[in-house]
Amino acid sequence: MEMLARWARPLSLLAALALIVGVTLTGLNLLLGGWTVYAAGHVLTIAALGAIWAANRGRFDGWATLGLLVLLIGLVLALPQVAAIWQTYANPSAGREMELPVWTAPFGLTAELVTWVGVAFFGLAARGAHALPRGIGWVMVGAAVIGIIAALYLVSPYAWVAAMLLFALALLGVGVSMRRGASADALG
């Protein structure tokens, strides 16, 4: 656990950077590059959240841990969508418009809703347990609200870009607030 905890800060910063760059490139319609970087950020986010838990396990209560598990389940369910979207753009003859995870088989909407509910649940529960820096939990809730209304088509599904950018900024805030060589009380 200690070794995983030591990687919490660099993993959080790298995952946030990859998500921000990937989502920005995707939003700018640089689809193959954007989804390639986003896919790396998606996988790094799963690892970073596990490392954040390892570094702060003394602060995580049952609700924060459950929220984190729901978020991780959503991210793992979304892996096939991310891979399918990347495969679509890796084909040289693709030349298509931007794809979104909510439109992609096999889990699409289910994975999106589980992920965004997990983001909100984790943000609020970890904020209440003082396992996240002040304000980060509310940024996660804001990202989740945008992500859910985009997934349900209450606004344009392309609002997913804004939701992911907010989530990435929250992850960046967690990484920046961690001390170097994270320990059991990593967040300051």
pLDDT at 10 exceeding the cut of 60: yes
Q: How many domains does the chain have?
A: 1
41-56 residue pLDDT tens? 999 999 999 999 999 9
Predicted confidence at residue 105, as pLDDT, reads 78
30-42 residue pLDDT tens? 888 999 999 999 9
Average pLDDT, the chain: 91
Residue 183, domain member (yes or no)? no
Q: How confident is the model at residue 185 (pLDDT cuts 50, 70, 90)?
A: low
Predicted confidence at residue 104, as pLDDT, reads 87
| Sequence-separated (6 or more) residues with CB below 8 Å from residue 176 | 13
Predicted confidence at residue 141, as pLDDT, reads 97
Residue percentage of the chain with pLDDT more than 90:
72
User: What pTM was computed for the model?
Assistant: 0.91
Taking the C-alpha atoms of residue 31 and residue 65, their distance in angstroms, rounded to an integer, is 34
| Sequence-separated (6 or more) residues with CB below 8 Å from residue 186 | 5, 8, 9, 52, 55, 56, 178, 179
127-163 residue pLDDT tens? 999 988 889 999 999 999 999 999 999 999 999 999 9
Taking the C-alpha atoms of residue 126 and residue 185, their distance in angstroms, rounded to an integer, is 14
Average pLDDT over residues 175-183: 74
Predicted confidence at residue 120, as pLDDT, reads 97
Residue 182, domain member (yes or no)? no
Q: How confident is the model at residue 184 (pLDDT cuts 50, 70, 90)?
A: very low
73-111 residue pLDDT tens? 999 999 999 999 998 888 876 567 788 888 887 788 999
Residue 46, domain member (yes or no)? yes
| Domain enclosing residue 156, as ranges | 2-92+100-177
Taking the C-alpha atoms of residue 94 and residue 32, their distance in angstroms, rounded to an integer, is 10
| 60 contacts 68 by C-beta, under 8 angstroms | yes
Predicted confidence at residue 181, as pLDDT, reads 55
Q: How confident is the model at residue 183 (pLDDT cuts 50, 70, 90)?
A: very low
